[in-house]
Structure 1
Amino acid sequence: MRLLILLASTTMLAACGGAGPQSVGSSAPPTGGGTGGGTGGGTTHTFVNPTDPKTYKAVGSSHSYNYTVEAAGNAGAGQTGQLYQGDATTVRNSNLTIAYNPRDAIFDVSFNNGLAGTSTVSRFQDPLHRTDFGGLVEPQDGTPNLGSTQFGIQGMNYLESGSSNNITAAVPGEFAFGLIDTGQGGSYDATTFFYQTPGTETKYVTFAGYLRNNATVSNASIDNPDGSTSEFIRQTNKLERGAFAYGEITANDKVPTTGSGSFEGTMLASMVFNDQPDTLGNFDTYFQWIAGRATTNVDFGANTFSLSLDGRVGAPFLDGTSGQHSIMQNAQFRANGGGSINLVTAGGFFGQFNEAWFVNPGGNRLDMVIAGSSIDGAFYGPNAAEVGGGYRIVGGTPDERIDILGTFVGIER
Structure 2
Amino acid sequence: MRLLILLASTTMLAACGGAGPQSAGSAAPPPTVGGGSGDGSGETHSFVNPTEQRTYIAVGSSHSYSYDAGPDLMAFDADGNPVLNPDGSYATRIARQDGQLYQGNATTVRNSNLSIDYNPRDAIFNVSFSNGLAGTSGASRFQDPLHRTNFGGAIEPQFGTPNLGSAQWNLPGINYLESGASDNVVFDRRIPGEFVFDLIDPSAPGSYDSTTFFYQTPGTETQYVTFAGYLRNTASVTQRDFIQADGITVAQHPGQQNTFERGAFAYGELSANDNVPTSGTGSFEGTMLASMVFNDQPDLLGNRDTYFQWIAGRATTNVDFGANTFALSLDGTVGAPLFDGTSGRQSVLENAQFRANGAGQIDLVAAGGFFGQFNEAWFVNPGGARLDVNIAGSSIDGAFYGPNGEEIGGGYRIVGGTPDERIDILGTFVGRGN
Q: TM-score, normalised by structure 2?
A: 0.88
What is the 5 A alignment of 1:50-129?
Answer: 50-70=50-70, 71=72, 73=74, 74-75=92-93, 77-129=95-147
Q: 2:217 matched to which residue of 1?
A: 197
- What is the Cα deviation at residue 223 of structure 1? 6.0
1:249-270 residue CA offsets vs partner (Å, 9 max, x unmatched): 0011111111110000000000
Which structure carries more helix by proportion?
1
1:159–1:192 Cα contact (<8 Å) kept:
yes
The yes-or-no answer on 1:215 pairing with 2:235 is: yes
- What is the Cα deviation at residue 139 of structure 1? 0.3
1:44-83 residue CA offsets vs partner (Å, 9 max, x unmatched): 3310000100000000000000001125735454111000
1:58–1:246 Cα contact (<8 Å) kept:
yes
Q: Which amino acid aligns with 2:208?
A: Y
1:154-178 residue CA offsets vs partner (Å, 9 max, x unmatched): 0000000011110145224268333
Distance change >3 Å, CA 187–CA 43, structure 1 → 2? closer
1:349–1:378 Cα contact (<8 Å) kept:
yes
| 137, 159, 168: which one aligns with 1:141 | 159
1:307–1:337 Cα contact (<8 Å) kept:
yes
* Aligned-partner Cα distance in 2 for 1:228–1:68: 19
Distance change >3 Å, CA 266–CA 231, structure 1 → 2? same
Which runs of 5 or more structure 2 residues have no equivalent in the other structure? 21-34, 75-91
2:48–2:223 Cα contact (<8 Å) kept:
yes
* Aligned-partner Cα distance in 1 for 2:210–2:48: 28
1:57–1:94 Cα contact (<8 Å) kept:
yes
Distance change >3 Å, CA 122–CA 130, structure 1 → 2? same
Q: Which amino acid aligns with 1:61?
A: S
What is the 5 A alignment of 1:164-183?
Answer: 164-173=182-191, 176-182=194-200, 183=202
Q: 2:368 matched to which residue of 1?
A: 347
Which runs of 5 or more structure 1 residues have no equivalent in the other structure? 15-22
Q: Give secondary structure in 1 for the equivalent of 2:195.
A: helix
1:83-112 residue CA offsets vs partner (Å, 9 max, x unmatched): 000000000000110000000001100000
1:173–1:319 Cα contact (<8 Å) kept:
no
* Aligned-partner Cα distance in 2 for 1:384–1:56: 17
Q: Which amino acid aligns with 1:244?
A: F
1:175–1:320 Cα contact (<8 Å) kept:
no
Q: Give secondary structure in 2 for the equivalent of 1:279.
A: helix
Q: Which amino acid aligns with 1:263?
A: F
- What is the Cα deviation at residue 217 of structure 1? 1.3
Q: 1:268 matched to which residue of 2?
A: 289
* Aligned-partner Cα distance in 1 for 2:156–2:362: 42
Q: 1:17 matched to which residue of 2?
A: none
Q: 2:17 matched to which residue of 1?
A: 32
1:379-403 residue CA offsets vs partner (Å, 9 max, x unmatched): 0001100000000000000000000
1:293-351 residue CA offsets vs partner (Å, 9 max, x unmatched): 00000000000000000000000011243011100000000000000000011000000
Q: Which amino acid aligns with 1:324?
A: R
2:193–2:338 Cα contact (<8 Å) kept:
no
Q: Which amino acid aligns with 2:395?
A: S
* Aligned-partner Cα distance in 2 for 1:292–1:181: 39
Q: 2:419 matched to which residue of 1?
A: 398
* Aligned-partner Cα distance in 2 for 1:233–1:364: 39
Q: Which amino acid aligns with 1:31?
A: C
- What is the Cα deviation at residue 226 of structure 1? 7.2
Instruction: Quote the sequence identity (%).
Output: 69
The yes-or-no answer on 1:132 pairing with 2:153 is: no
Q: TM-score, normalised by structure 1?
A: 0.93
Counting matched residue pairs gives: 398
Q: Give secondary structure in 2 for the equivalent of 1:382.
A: coil
Distance change >3 Å, CA 229–CA 407, structure 1 → 2? same
Q: Give secondary structure in 2 for the equivalent of 1:112.
A: coil
| 140, 162, 175: which one aligns with 2:180 | 162
1:171–1:178 Cα contact (<8 Å) kept:
yes
What is the RMSD computed on CA atoms of the aligned residues? 1.7
Q: 1:337 matched to which residue of 2?
A: 358
What is the 5 A alignment of 1:248-263?
Answer: 248-263=269-284
1:39–1:251 Cα contact (<8 Å) kept:
no
* Aligned-partner Cα distance in 2 for 1:227–1:262: 65
1:186-237 residue CA offsets vs partner (Å, 9 max, x unmatched): 1111000000000000000000000000011111126654755442331110
- Following TM superposition, the consecutive aligned residue runs of length 4 or more in structure 1 with deviations greater than 6 angstroms are none
The yes-or-no answer on 1:307 pairing with 2:328 is: yes
- What is the Cα deviation at residue 239 of structure 1? 0.2
Q: Which amino acid aligns with 1:47?
A: F
Q: Give secondary structure in 2 for the equivalent of 1:253.
A: helix
Q: Which amino acid aligns with 2:400?
A: F
